[in-house]
Every structure is written in C-alpha cells, then in structure tokens.
A and B are shown apart, each in its own frame.
Chain A
Amino acid sequence: MAELFRRIKYLINRRRLDAELASDMEFHREMAARAGRSNFGNTLRMREQAREAWGWTWLDRLVQDLRYGVRILARSPGFTLMAVSVLAIGIGINVAAFSLFDMVALEPLPVRDPSSLVRLERRSPTAYTSEMPYPSVLFYGAHAKTLSAVMAVLGIPPMQLDNDIQQASAFFVTSNYFTELGTPAGMGRLFDPAREDASGAAPTVVLSYGFWQRRFGADPSVVGRIIHLNGKPVTVIGITPYAFASLAGQTPDIWLPMPQQPYFVDGSHILTDSGDSAVRMWGRLAPGVTQKTAAQELLALTNELRRQHPNDIWDNEYIDIHPGGRMQVMQEMMYQVAAMVAVLTLLILAVACANLGGLMLARAVTREREIGIRVAIGAGRWRIFRQLCTESLLLAALGSLAGLALGNIVVRVSLSSMDAPKWINPSPDWRVLLFTLGLTLLAAVFFGLAPALQITRQRQHKTIARQVLVGAQVAASCVLLIVAGLLVRASQHALYTDPGFGYQQLLTIDAQLAQHGYAPAAAKAYLSQMQARIRALPGVQSVSLVKLPPLGHAVMRLNREVDGHAILVYPNWVEPGFFQTMGIPLLMGRTFYPGEKNAVVVSESFARWQWPGRSPLGQQLGDDDKKDIVVGVVGNARINALSDNDATEQYWPAQPDDMPGMTVIARTAGTPDSLPPIVKSISESIDPRIFPEIRQLKALYQDNISPVAKVATIVSLIGMVAVLLAGVGIIGLVAFTVSQRTKEIAIRIALGARKSQVLAAVLRQFAWPVALGLVAGTGIAAASSRVLRKALFGVNNLDPLSYVTALCILAAILAVAAVLPARRALRLDLAKTLHYE
C-alpha cells in the first residue's frame, strides 16, 4: 500500500524527479571522467530505463499512443466521421434498448425500501392466477411473520364520475398502500390505515395528479369536496404527487380504500368470499428475511388455508414470490423476450463492427508505408499492435459517446410517446454507463482486433480477414431481415386474416353481477331480461352469454401434457348460442342443449393434439370422478390468446351457478358504434345500481395487435439499417479490391477478356463469403425464431414467404452493392493504366 502511494507520488512529481535523476547521472559522468573512465552510454535511454522502475512507463506509452491516434484520426476526418457514425448507430441502438430494460426491470422504484417489496401470486404445478381472494390476503397478512406488511389492489371497471361522458379508471387499494410506499401527498392527505380502516369511516377518494389536472383543471379547492362515483357521494381527501411511483406502474385516475368496496359496489362479497380470486397481492419482506424463508412460511400458511377452505386451494398450491420493487415484475417469459431483443440489437452492433473492420482493413493498405517506416526505425510488433489497439479504442470511445447521445435521444422520444410515469429519469444511470463501457470494449475488439493483427504481421493484402468480415455482416443482416420479415408477416396476418371469430361487429356487456352480490337465480333473471331487450334492438343479429369474454380482463389457462407435449388450454363456460354469436364455425357434432351437463366442446387444435387420427366425438375428458363427453368440435378461435398459435380451447356449458359471472355478448349487422348508450339506458332501467362495462371488440382487437405492428416496424427499420450498412461495406470493399487490382484487370482486358469474365474475377473472392453468410444467417434465424412462435399470431416461424422475401431483398442489395463499384473496372483507360503501372 505504502509502495503504491510512493508510486503515485513519483507520478505526480515526475518532472522534478526526472530532473534530479538526470542531475545524478550527469554527476556520475563527471566523476567517471575524472577517474579516467568514459564508458557512460546513451544517457537518455538509461534514464528511461531508470524511470521504468517507477512503474509508469505504460502510462507514458498510452499517452503517446493516444496523441498519435488523435493525430491520425484528425488527419482523415472523412474516415473518422464515417467510423463514428457507423459505431454510433450500432452502439446507440443497444444503449437505447438497455436503457429501457434498465428503467423497467432494474431501476428500483423511488419508494421506501424498494428491495423488500414482493409480488405474491398463486401458483401450482398446473395452474396459475395473478389474483387472490381478499380473505386469503388478510390471512397471510395476519399470520406471516416473514412479511412485515401485505397490500392488495383490486382493479375494477371504470366508474361514472358525476355526469361525465368519459368514465374514470379506478383501483381499490388497502389503506396501507401509500404509507407502505412512503408516498407523500401531492395535496391534502393520502389513505391512512388509522382513519380509512376505522369502522364507520366516511367514504374517501384520492385523485391521481394527472386526473386532477385533466378533470378538475388543477383546482386546489377540490380537496374536501364531495363528488359522486357511480352515484355514491364520496369526499376527495387528497392528490397523489406529480412523480408518483406506484406498484407495477399502475396509473388509475382515482384511488379508493379497500374497506369502502362494498359501499361502491352494492352487495359485493369480494372482501369476504374466500373462493373469489379478485385482488392482486403485494408484500414487504420483514427485515433480514429472504424470499426463500418467506416462501417456506407462506407454503405452511397455504396448507393451513386448505384445511379451512378445502375447495378454494389447489393441489400443491404455493405462493410464488417475485421482487416487486421495480416498474415491471419480471416473469420468465419477459426475460425471454428481453434476451431476444438483446440478440437482435447485438446483431446490429455486429454488422456495424464488421463494417468498420472492413474499412480499417482497407485503410491498412494505405497506411502500409507509415507502418513500414515505423517498423524500419525500430518499433516492435507488439508496440505497433498496441498502437493500433489504442487507435481502435479511441475510435470506439468516440463512437460510444455518440451512441450514448443517440441512444438517449431514442429513449427520450419513446418515453414521451409512451406516457411513461413521471418519476422515470431518462438520463443514463450508472448501469447504462457501465453497459456502454462494456460495449465500447467489445466493439473495439470486434472491429479492431482482426485489422490490428493483420497489419502487425504486415499482411495487409491478405483477403481472408476481409472475407470473414463480409460473411459476418451478411449473416447478421440476414438474421435481422428474416426476423423482421416474420414480424411483418405476423402483423399483416393479424390485421388481415380472421382470428377465428368475427370481431368487427361484437360488443361485450359485463354487468359484474357477482360483484354486486347477485345470487344465481337473480343473475339469470337479470341476464335474460338484458339479452331479450338487446336482441329486440334493430341491427342486433345474435346475443349470448360467456364467462370469460374475448379479449377480456381475466384470462384462465391450464397447462396440459399430451404425449409429452405441453399444450396450453384456455377453458371457457358459455351458453349454447355462443359459437353462432361469435362466428366460430361448428366443424363436427353439435353445440350444447340448453341446460346440458357433463358435455364439452373442444377446438379443432385441441382435438388434433388429444386424439390424433381419431374422432373426438364421444371421447371423454376430465378427471376420474367427473368425466365430460365431447359433443362437438369448433374452429380454432384464440379469443384470449390472439398471438399464440399453440393455444387450444375447451368450452363447457354454463351452469346456473356461473350466472353471476357471465358477460353478455352481442353481434350486430353493421358496426355496433351506436349501441353502447342504448345498452347503458337498458341497464339503468333493469337495475340502476349497476354500471356495466361495455366494450367493442374491434377496438380491443386493435389494441391487442398494435404492439406487434409497432415491433414489426421497429425491427424492419433496424433490419434495413443493417442491410444498408452491409451494402455500404460491400461497396467499399469491392471498390477497394478493384483499385488494388487495376493493373491485373487492365492486362486481362488488353488481352481480350470479356466483360463478364473480368467482373467474375473481381467478385469471385466475395462470392463464397456472401453465400456462407446467407446460409449461416438463415440457419441462425430458423433456429432462434422458435422463441418467437407465441408472438407470431399463427405465422409459422419457418414461414417460407418471409424467408424468401428477406433473402431476395438481401441478395438484391448485395448484388447492386457489389456490381456498382466493380463496373468501374470495365471502364478503365487501358493505355493510361498500363503506362502508369
């Protein structure tokens, strides 16, 4: 340690100490001369050797190399500008992607102790749901010693505020929600367990900052005012802060305290029904408790719950714990998506680096003389290599700075277009900076190493490195283009083909009867009346009931294994007329009879998996004690998994007990735009306490597929950038080859070679790298696109059209890029060239 300090002291005082050393040696020489000896050698060299003992020679060399590098780059501004822009594109895209990932998945929420926040979900080996019954939440909260607090969030349909046309989105949260997050009130006060949980507490509401601005014009006097939600008076007690960080990025317009849920939703039993998974659960780990210990204790509590309510807990159920203190609670699937995006963006970097590597190689030939001189005056290979690496690093650093700026611009633009939470800070944090640094080194190795090796070994004219780089560029662009092609096909497919049900003319009316405490018989009466009155409306073709409406809020999914194949089953409970209303074709057998039991209708894809080559009709399905008979097969309709081509469906006849949870679905002849207000008034006349959520499937469908279309556009853009980069790279390389072989070409032409022969001779060396690149790229794309399957809306990940299109575009661009500069070879002025050479 002391030695290090002395070294640093020597570095700081090096000028003085060097002078002292020089004086020492000068004195030595004087004395030696007196003694009649004068064999003192090269003083400068000796002083350098002595200085090496201080251990800072590498720094001296680095500074020297950097200075030299700066001079070299400044001398060819065209090359430098080109190189920095190519790198900025490659690095900038990666920085942007990583920044977004960082914000969503790594950056802790600006709340109190984000690291101990956890998301808690019900899971078993065969089942999963994101929601949990509220009594279970209370049970875990009361008994778990490993959790210092539990929070619950209940999403509900938008609420009617006074007489507004636009409804307000709302969440019920446990009253410790804001205190646990340590959120200060933007104005007034937020929920306080001591007041909101007290029995007989008056109804209160907290407005979000944005809603307060939009709806109330930021009027401060709104705090303390009484407003009406779904017709119920409630006092506004406060406003959330401007940059409020909520769990999982929830941003409703209004926040309501959980204890008031029965007040707003008449007759609801959510707070007491132990069988109704309705709320999302969050918790805070007690100090010093790990997720694993908490999981063990929660498992014991789950088993205790099963003893109390045997019907409400699944076999082998456990509580799945995920870190919750970030904007997005990451699930395995999301990591897969993130990894895929990372691969695509790194491919861009690979193309950029290979491109730049080619440029550096071409430059190496022009620098041959300079390097030759340096070697001639005594520079070692290692020294030259180091010099070249320093230059590459310098270039990479410049590119990274530009890339960082570019990436940040992309991030800011996308944040402003995404309506992101206000607390998000788009400036790069330390993780992004570290990532950029890593990328800089990676890029420097990628584009700098091969040229540096070749130059050091004085093999500037070897073509193999150039060919490898061309191959790499072609392969990487090929993968990007194919993936882009697949995504474009998927979004086209989603937009222009039938998803298995006619969504354009469908309307769902969710009255949430269960939440209002409707008993089955009352619910049946309500729904019959609603159906009859809607059916009587002009333009309505068909009306039916479904438990899990298409593209609805709730999704249920079962993992089944058939012959070792994991398949996803989406179950649903429907009325007999459902298939006709939805426009799902009946392929075999029949639909249900009214009031039928122990019957099931399956989708075509499920039948194919389960009974390949056999008739599904009459087969039995289900567990041993309650077998259901397959009565019909219908077309595939991924009504709740649009993008997943592997999804299958099973439909059971809705039973009387299901009625409170059923949704009305109606098909109209034209577009159902005019229907919602009429349905609203019908609902009001049947039961004024109920405010049904009325949704048009057309809009939901568009919301569902617009992300794919967006991603397809972005990936296509990235792919085109990659291809253009590769094209420019090839133009440069071919032009360079032509200029190198001018003499040979001229002789060939002079001797009577045909144009095509000359062209072939020039381009031959690029033929096999391009071919290999295309093959490798196609192979990689085919192998890696398997992970995309679930996002492709039924387009096969080996879809030949996408592949052929991508390869044709790529081949065409490459051919143009190769032939354009090569044609120059044919227009040579023979006499001049031969004379000159």
Chain B
Amino acid sequence: MPITPNQETPKPVTPSGALPMLILRVLQSGTLHGYAIGQRIHLLSSEVLGVEEGLLYPTLQKMLVKGWVTAEWGISETNRKVRCYRLTPEGRKHLKAELSGYDRVTQAIQEILRTA
C-alpha cells in the first residue's frame, strides 16, 4: 500500500514547482523516455508524488528550450522507437544550483518549524 500523507485522498500529489529539479535529478543516472521519467519519480517518492502527463510534457519542452536536456532516439522496453532525454552539462550545473538553493530553503523551513 502506498503511504500517502492523507489516507482519505490517495491521489498522488503533483510537485509542480520542483518538477524540473526532480526531472533533472532522475536523469542524472542516465537517459530516460518521458513515461519512464514519470514512473521513476512516482516510484522513488514511494508513490507519494505523481507527475501528470499534462504537466510533464510542457515541462520537458521548456527544459529542452532552456538547454538543460537534449532529446535523442532510443528503443523502449516494448521495442518502440521513442525519444529519450539526456542531461546536458548545462542541466547538471542548473541542477546543482537548484539543489543547493532547495537545501537552504528546506533547512530554513525546518528551523522555523522546530523553534517557532
């Protein structure tokens, strides 16, 4: 059973703001196609986070234009020709910056939650 923060609504949460960061992070270990990216995020978050298709593809397009990822042709598990996304050096740099920013913010929030 997935462990969700709220048992009454088992619908996955969509991490809209942090999505580019998560995508960059899962691509760090290798190229993936769109569906796999969604799946990987879903699984790694212990099925707490779900990426809506309507959000995933616009975000990927944006990241392509920004130059954080590139697309290349690959073969899927079902033997279908499919586009796979690969992290670029620029994307790696951006991920690093995002992560450190994110760490600072979470730490700060934790601080407040603990002491306030």
Q: Is the CB of B53 within 8 A of A25?
A: yes
* A46 touching B34, Cβ below 8 Å: no
With A31-B35, A41-B54 as given contacts, are A55 and B65 in contact (CB-CB < 8 Å)?
yes
Shortest Cβ distance from B60 into A: residue = A50
A194 contacts the other chain (CB 8 A): no
Interface residues of B in 65-111 (CB under 8 A from A): 65-67, 71, 76, 78, 80-83
The answer to whether B66 touches A24 (Cβ under 8 A) is no
Residues of B within 8 A of A21 (CB): 57, 61
Q: Are A50 and B78 in contact (CB under 8 A)?
A: no
Q: How far is the CB of B19 from chain A (nearest CB, A)?
A: 12
Interface residues of A in 1-41 (CB under 8 A from B): 2-3, 6-7, 10, 20-21, 23-25, 27-28, 30-32, 40-41
Are A27 and B82 interface neighbours, CB within 8 A? yes
Decide if A6 touches B80 in the complex (CB within 8 Å).
no
What residues of B have a CB within 8 angstroms of the CB of A32 in the complex?
Answer: 35, 53
Q: Are B57 and A27 in contact (CB under 8 A)?
A: no
Q: In the complex, what distance in Å separates the CA atom of A28 from the CA atom of B33?
A: 9
Q: Report Cα–Cα, A47/B67, bound state, in Å.
A: 20
At the interface, yes or no: B17 with Cβ under 8 Å from chain A? no
Determine the chain B residues whose CB is within 8 A of the CB of A53 once the complex forms.
58-59, 61-62, 64-65
Interface centre among A3, A25, A40, A53, by most chain B C-beta atoms within 10 angstroms, is A53
Q: Given that A25-B57, A27-B76 are contacting pairs, would A54 and B65 also be in contact in the complex, using a CB cutoff of 8 Å?
A: yes
B65, A20: Cβ atoms closer than 8 Å: no
* Contact with A27, one of B35, B58, B62, B67 (Cβ below 8 angstroms): B35
Chain A 563-583, CB-CB to B under 8 Å as 1, else 0, gives 000000000000000000000
Q: Decide if A784 is an interface residue (CB 8 Å cutoff).
A: no
Name the residue in A3, A21, A28, A49 with the highest tally of chain B Cβ atoms < 10 Å from its Cβ.
A28
Given the interface pairs A41-B54, A49-B58, the reply to whether A7 lies near B65 with Cβ below 8 Å is yes
Complex CA distance for A23 and B74, rounded to whole angstroms? 13
Chain B residues with CB under 8 A of A31: 35, 76, 78
Give A20 to B76 CA distance when docked, in angstroms. 15
A370 part of interface (Cβ distance < 8 Å): no
B16-47 vs A: 1/0 string, CB under 8 Å?
00000000000000000111001000000000
A54–B59 Cα distance when bound, in Å, is 11
Residue A748 is within 8 A (CB to CB) of chain B in the complex? no
**Residue of chain B at shortest CB distance from A4:** B65
Which residues of chain A come closer than 8 Å to B62, judged between CB atoms? Answer: 53
Residues of the B chain whose Cβ atoms lie less than 8 Å from the Cβ of A24: 33-34, 57, 82-83
A52 within 8 A of B: yes
Shortest beta-carbon distance from B60 to chain A in Å: 8
Residues of B contacting A25 in the complex (Cβ-Cβ under 8 angstroms) = 34, 53, 57
Cα distance A40–B54 in the bound complex, in angstroms: 8
Q: How far is the CB of A11 from chain B (nearest CB, A)?
A: 11
Given contacts A27-B35, A53-B58, contact A3 B71 (CB under 8 A): no
Complex contacts, B59 vs chain A, CB 8 Å:
53
Q: How far is A41 from B53 in the complex, measured between Cα atoms in Å? A: 9
A698 within 8 A of B: no
**Would you call A3 and B58 a contact (CB within 8 A)?**
no
Q: A24-B34, A27-B82 are in contact. Are A3 and B67 (CB under 8 A)?
A: yes
CA–CA, A53 to B54, complex, Å? 13
User: Is A743 in contact with chain B by the CB < 8 A criterion?
Assistant: no
Q: Could you tell me if A27 and B34 are in contact, using CB atoms closer than 8 angstroms? A: yes
From B67, B71, B81, contact of A2 by CB (8 A): B67
- B61 surroundings in chain A (CB, below 8 A): 21, 50-51, 53-54
> Are A40 and B53 in touch, CB under 8 angstroms?
yes
Q: Are A28 and B34 in contact (CB under 8 A)?
A: yes
Q: Which A230-266 residues sit within 8 Å CB-CB of chain B?
A: none
B101 smallest CB distance to A (angstroms)? 20
Inter-chain contacts of B76 with A (CB < 8 A): 27, 31
Residue of B58, B78, B82 touching A23 (CB-CB under 8 A): B82
Q: Is the CB of B71 within 8 A of A27?
A: no
Give Cα A650–Cα B81 distance, bound, in whole angstroms. Answer: 100
- Name which of B60, B61, B66, B80 has the most chain A CB atoms within 10 A of its CB: B61
Closest to B61 in A: A53
Rounded to whole Å, the gap between the CB of B38 and the closest CB of chain A is 8
CA distance A49 to B61 in the complex (A): 10
Chain B residues in 8 Å Cβ range of A41: 53-54
**Chain B residues within an 8 Å CB radius of A27:** 33-35, 76, 80, 82
- Cα separation A53 to B56 with both chains bound (whole Å): 12
Closest to A47 in B: B57
Residues of B within 8 A of A54 (CB): 61, 65
Determine which of B33, B38, B57 lies in contact with A50 in the assembled complex, contact meaning CB atoms within 8 Å.
Answer: B57
- The CA-CA distance from A7 to B34 in the complex, in Å, is 21
Question: Which chain A residues (48-103) contact chain B, with CB distance < 8 Å?
Answer: 49-55
Name the A residues within 8 Å of B60 (CB-CB).
50
Min Cβ gap B83→A in Å is 5
Give every chain A residue within 8 A of B33 (Cβ-Cβ). 24, 27
Given the known interface contacts A27-B82, A28-B34, A32-B35, the answer about A46 and B65 at a Cβ–Cβ threshold of 8 Å is no
**Is the pair B82, A52 in contact by a Cβ cutoff of 8 Å?**
no
Least CB distance from A92 to B in Å reads 44
Min CB gap B55→A, angstroms: 9
Minimum CB–CB distance for B8 against chain A, Å:
20
CB distance from B70 to the nearest CB of A (A): 10
Q: Tell me the bound Cα distance from A304 to B90 in angstroms.
A: 70
Cβ contacts under 8 Å, B54 to chain A? 41, 46, 49
**Cα A24 to Cα B83 with chains together (Å):** 7
* Known contacts A40-B53, A41-B54, A52-B58: A30-B65 contact under CB 8 Å: no
Task: Give Cα A40–Cα B35 distance, bound, in whole angstroms.
Answer: 12
Residue of chain B at shortest CB distance from A49: B58
How many Å from the CB of A469 to the closest CB on chain B?
44
User: Looking at the complex, which one of A3, A23, A28, A40 makes contact with B65 (CB distance below 8 Å)?
Assistant: A3
Least Cβ–Cβ distance between B67 and chain A, in angstroms: 6
Q: Which chain B residues lie closer than 8 Å to A6 at the CB level?
A: 64-65, 67
When distances are taken between beta carbons in the complex, the residues of chain A under 8 Å from B67 are: 2-3, 6
Measured between beta carbons, the chain A residues less than 8 angstroms from B38 are 28
In the docked arrangement, what's the CA distance between A6 and B82, Å?
A: 21
Task: Give the docked Cα–Cα distance between A28 and B51 (Å).
Answer: 12
Task: Determine whether the beta carbon of A23 is less than 8 Å from that of B83.
Answer: yes
Contact A28 B58 (CB under 8 A): no
Cα separation A46 to B61 with both chains bound (whole Å): 12
| Bound Cα distance from A25 to B62, whole angstroms | 16
Whole-angstrom distance between the Cβ of B26 and the nearest chain A Cβ: 16
CA distance A175 to B54 in the complex (A): 81
| Chain A contacts for B34, CB-based, 8 A | 24-25, 27-28
Q: Are A3 and B66 in contact (CB under 8 A)?
A: yes
A-chain residues with CB within 8 Å of residue B57 when the two chains form the complex: 21, 24-25, 28, 46-47, 49-50
Indicate if the CB atoms of A30 and B78 lie closer than 8 Å. yes
- Could you give 23 example pairs across A and B, Cβ below 8 Å? A3-B65, A6-B64, A6-B67, A7-B65, A21-B57, A23-B81, A24-B33, A24-B82, A25-B34, A27-B76, A27-B82, A28-B57, A31-B76, A32-B35, A41-B54, A50-B57, A50-B58, A50-B60, A50-B61, A53-B61, A53-B64, A54-B61, A54-B65
Query: Apart from A27-B82, A49-B58, what are 7 other A-B pairs with CB-CB below 8 Å?
Result: A2-B67, A6-B64, A23-B82, A27-B34, A46-B58, A50-B60, A53-B64
Nearest 8 CB-CB pairs, A to B?
A53-B61, A53-B62, A50-B57, A31-B35, A50-B58, A28-B35, A50-B61, A46-B54
